[in-house]
Amino acid sequence: MEINTSSSILLPWLLVVVASGLGIVLRKKARQTAAALAEKNRSVQLLEESELRFRILTRATNEAVWDWDIGTDSVWWNRNVQTLLGYSEEEIGPTSAWRTQNIHPDDRKRVEDGLQARVRGEKEDFWSGEYRFRRADGSYADIFDRGYILRDHDGRAVRMIGSMLDMTKRKREMELARARDAALESARLKSQFLANMSHEIRTPMNSIIGMTDILLHLELTSEQREFVEIVRMSGESLLTIINDILDFSKIEAGKLTFEMLDFEPRIAMEEVIAMLVEQTHAKKLQLCSVIAQDVPETIRGDPGRLRQVLTNLASNAIKFTPQGEVKIHVTKDSESNTHVILRFEVVDTGIGVPEAARACLFQPFSQVDPSTTRKYGGTGLGLAICKQLVNLMAGQIGCDSIPNQGSTFWFTAQFEKLGSALPLLEMPPEIVQNPPKLPAEILPEQARKCLRILVAEDNAFNQKVVLRQVREMGFGADAVANGLEVLEALGRISYDLVLMDCQMPEMDGYACAAEIRRQEDNVGHIPIIAMTAHVMKEDRDKCLAAGMDDFLSKPVRVAHLENVLVQWLAASGLTADDEASVSPMSSPDTRSPSQPVDLDIFRELAGREAPRVRELAERYVRQTTEQLAKLRDAIATGAAADVKRIAHSATGSSAMCGMMPIVGHLRELERIGQTGQLADAPRVYGQIKDEFARIEQFLRDHVETEVNLRA
């Protein structure tokens, strides 16, 4: 009974325990199932979100995105493939074969080999490549393509996703950039080559033209003189060609520079006429200039470039005019508050230009008659250079012509207006390239014998030429071959001036000039004149920076060389005794040992008209008064660079007007400004003020008499 009772009691409890355990298991299983289902749903949701992001990204990008299912070989493309390559949706194939067949045949194998190597796992999973892909219109786009392999758990490639970018425009831009860089480098090399070529040609040309100048001063038979003249004219023609090529190359390279100087158009015209007088006289032509009354008296611009254009056009007119005349007309075209546009016309009575030939007149290397037997020679660069220069002066150029009756070459140029009359004869604050032509009597033969010049030139022929030229002028001269010999010679002999070639072995002219200035140590100053076949502006700047005073480009003309030597030797700080021995006594009432103005120079510059004499005197006094006031302020404020610049400018204008005694003091003040040590500047400034007072008094006493005599 007890056993049965116990069994009956335990059995229900056992059933309860079993049921509870089973419930726990079932509930746990249900929870696991629910969790698995939730995880699956979450995975599906993440996948959908991922797919959505992928689709959004493929729409947002400007690239053609592709998705290659490797197992089924099906390819999905986003819509950009239609925009990129021009295909319609129906034309795009669903498999990789469509892509393969549109890759350029020359690129196809390389691209397929790269893709298959990634699929097989032989290389990294990332792939990129450039190739040409055919557009719908048959042309090829330059494509940059890249893709990434997706693998399953066993490492098999199941999918590859990538994008295509059209590089055609960017590649063209890169090619253009490379072409531009190559062109710039080519222009630089060409410019350097032309500069070097110019130097190499100018060096022997210096000997040729120099020797012909010397020969023409000897007693020759008429036949010998004719032969020498032919050599001289041939040398001049070759030099013109060299200059044209250099100018053209500088314009092409963008290295042609313009100066902004105050100048008078009337004087610029007179200078052009003066340069062409001999050419017109030889052909028995009339040459003149006419300037309209409303043309401003003074303007600001580059007178040198203006003269270059006018000289070229007028020289051409003379060349193509067998008889008659050539006139230069200047009129005012238009003006604003700040600028004025002038119109220049060169009118001739020559052979004219046929209408068909006018279109190519201003093109490089073009000529009206290009045949090798043409009567008139030339490089065909002159008018092209004129056009470029006129364009740089914000103007236009053209030609009107009637065959066998004459031509009118015209151009316009823009200049800055000036509010009031500005100083006459203002020199650029750099090297004085074209010093005034001074009468030879400023340094007469007796004085020249006492002056000694050192010629530094490594070329033996040029050495002989320059020595002969300098000695023919009456100066003593010695020659050395390099900068070291210059220093050694200066240590032995006190030379009055050095003619320095820039390109020499062992020590060149630049290093030598710098060493001379260092050794001077602010005591004394020997003028150094550069002689070089390099004619670029940077070459002039380099000479100035090295401490040289002036610049002569080879070939050096005798007249120009003498002009430079006379200016620098006469203006190099001579003592009163020296001045007495150097200055000629043309007459008791016009010159004395202490006379502050050389009337010969002043008269030559002023011309024959009485009003011009008074005008030159008044303007020189007005200009110098302003310059001295600026010098006083610059010295007071310690502005050494301004002292040097203003003194240099005043030196040039004073030398041009013949105020030789004051020039020496101005040179000294300029040198003080160059050193930057202004302690002695007030003393020298006082001497300049005293000398200027003498000049003012002299002009008041003598110019009025001069005017009355001429009236």
- List domains and CATH numbers for the chain: 58-166 (3.30.450.20), 183-251 (1.10.287.130), 260-417 (3.30.565.10), 571-711 (1.20.120.160)
Amino acid at 163: S
Give yes or no for residue 366 having a pLDDT over 90.
Answer: no
If pLDDT is split at 50, 70 and 90, which confidence band does 414 have? Answer: very high
Give yes or no for residue 59 having a pLDDT over 60.
Answer: no
For the residues 381-388, what does the mean pLDDT come to?
81
If pLDDT is split at 50, 70 and 90, which confidence band does 431 have? Answer: very low
Q: Report how far apart, in Å, the C-alpha atoms of 681 and of each of 102, 153, 643, 650, 708 are.
A: 84, 93, 9, 15, 40
Q: Which has more pLDDT, 574 or 465?
A: 465
Q: Which has more pLDDT, 455 or 245?
A: 455
Q: pLDDT by residue (tens digit) across 656-690?
A: 677 778 877 887 888 788 778 888 888 999 999 99
What pLDDT is recorded for position 106? 94
d(CA 252, CA 245): 11
The partner residues of 198 in beta bridges, in order of sequence, read: none
What pLDDT is recorded for position 379? 52
Beta-carbon neighbour count of residue 653 at 10 Å? 22
Query: DSSP letter string over 287-346?
Result: EEEEE-TTS-S-EEE-HHHHHHHHHHHHHHHHHT-SSSEEEEEEEEEEE-SSEEEEEEEE
Pairing of strands 339-348, 406-417: antiparallel
If pLDDT is split at 50, 70 and 90, which confidence band does 433 have? Answer: very low
| Backbone CA torsion sign across 221, 223, 225, 231 | negative
Q: pLDDT by residue (tens digit) across 289-303?
A: 888 888 998 899 888
Q: Report how far apart, in Å, the C-alpha atoms of 280 and of each of 283, 315, 383, 419 are.
A: 5, 9, 20, 37
Give yes or no for residue 582 having a pLDDT over 50.
Answer: no
What pLDDT is recorded for position 559? 73
If pLDDT is split at 50, 70 and 90, which confidence band does 378 have? Answer: low
d(CA 9, CA 6): 5
3-state secondary structure 100-129: HHHECHHHHHHHHHHHHHHHCCCCCCEEEE
| Backbone CA torsion sign across 642, 648, 649, 651 | positive
For the residues 555-583, what does the mean pLDDT come to?
62
Say which DSSP state 535 is in: -
Q: Count the residues in the chain.
A: 711
- Rg over alpha carbons for the chain, rounded to the nearest Å, is 43
The share of the chain scoring above pLDDT 70, in percent, equals 74
d(CA 482, CA 463): 11
What pLDDT is recorded for position 45? 65
Give yes or no for residue 271 having a pLDDT over 50.
Answer: yes
Q: pLDDT by residue (tens digit) across 237-270?
A: 677 667 666 666 666 656 666 778 888 888 888 7
If pLDDT is split at 50, 70 and 90, which confidence band does 571 have? Answer: low
What pLDDT is recorded for position 360? 74
Q: Which has more pLDDT, 395 or 196?
A: 395
If pLDDT is split at 50, 70 and 90, which confidence band does 601 have? Answer: low
What pLDDT is recorded for position 487? 92
Give yes or no for residue 420 having a pLDDT over 60.
Answer: no
Report the alpha-carbon angle 389-393-394, nearest 5.
120
| 45 CB-near residues (< 8 Å, 6+ apart) | none
Give yes or no for residue 708 having a pLDDT over 60.
Answer: no
Give yes or no for residue 494 having a pLDDT over 60.
Answer: yes
Q: Which has more pLDDT, 585 or 679?
A: 679
Q: pLDDT by residue (tens digit) across 103-141?
A: 999 999 999 999 999 999 888 889 999 999 999 999 999
What pLDDT is recorded for position 593? 40
| Backbone CA torsion sign across 684, 688, 691, 697 | negative
Q: What is the number of alpha carbons within 13 Å of residue 562 lying toward its C-beta?
A: 24
Contact 458, 501 (CB under 8 A): yes
Report the alpha-carbon angle 230-234-236, nearest 5.
120
d(CA 664, CA 666): 5
Q: Which alpha helices (DSSP H) does 547-659 contain, by range?
A: 558-570, 576-582, 599-606, 610-637, 640-657
Please state which of the ranges 80-84, 157-161, 238-242, 470-474 shows the lowest mean pLDDT: 238-242
Give yes or no for residue 329 having a pLDDT over 50.
Answer: yes
